Amino acid sequence: MASPNKQQKRAQRAKAKAKQNRSGKAKANVVHPLLANPLVNEPFDDVEIDLSTFNFKDIEENGFDPAHFDDLFQAMKVGEGISLLAMCLVFLQYPVLELVVAEESQESAIDFMMGLLIVYRGIFHDEDEDTAVNWVGSDAFQKAYNEASMILEKKNARGTPNTRV
């Protein structure tokens, strides 16, 4: 019979393996390690967003109320606490943003995205518009944004967009 210490180690390994199997998140299935974090991978699953009431034309004409995007900004702040890449992953998974990108012109979608990013930087980093625009244009942000786009493309190519990887 194995020593109590060996039995305990075996039990711990078995418990960890069982937990991994229950969660369905085997490491081989992860497109990127950041997607193993539920705060980064599909962070808006638990947020109720009624896309049927979203009126982009009203936003184009009158601007948007930052309070309506508080769930996005809070999730981005959590993501930014992990890394700039995590923040970009969170940002690009926002359902309203996905809708705008899918249904509006590229120019309108870019303007909307820039507006969200500028407001975010103003709220959480106390930056003015010019400083925020410079941040969005920075090499670090552009690299993280492009990498996040590629990660999400790979993730979505492996399964349906709402399937956790």
State percent of the chain over pLDDT 70: 78
62: exposed, middle or buried (Cβ count in 10 Å: 0-12, 13-18, 19+): exposed
pTM of the predicted model as reported, rounded to 2 decimal places: 0.76
Query: Could you tell me if 65 and 123 are in contact, meaning their C-beta atoms sit under 8 angstroms apart?
Result: no
Angle CA 52–155–38, to nearest 5: 75
Name, in order, each residue with C-beta under 8 angstroms of 145's C-beta and a sequence gap of 6 or more.
88, 92
Determine the Cα–Cα distance for residues 54 and 125; give it in Å rounded to an integer. Answer: 27
pLDDT digits (tens, 9 = 90+) for 5-18: 656 656 566 555 65
* Each residue's pLDDT tens digit, 89-134: 999 999 999 899 989 999 999 999 999 999 999 999 999 999 999 9
Q: pLDDT category, 19, cuts 50, 70, 90?
A: low
Average pLDDT, the chain: 85
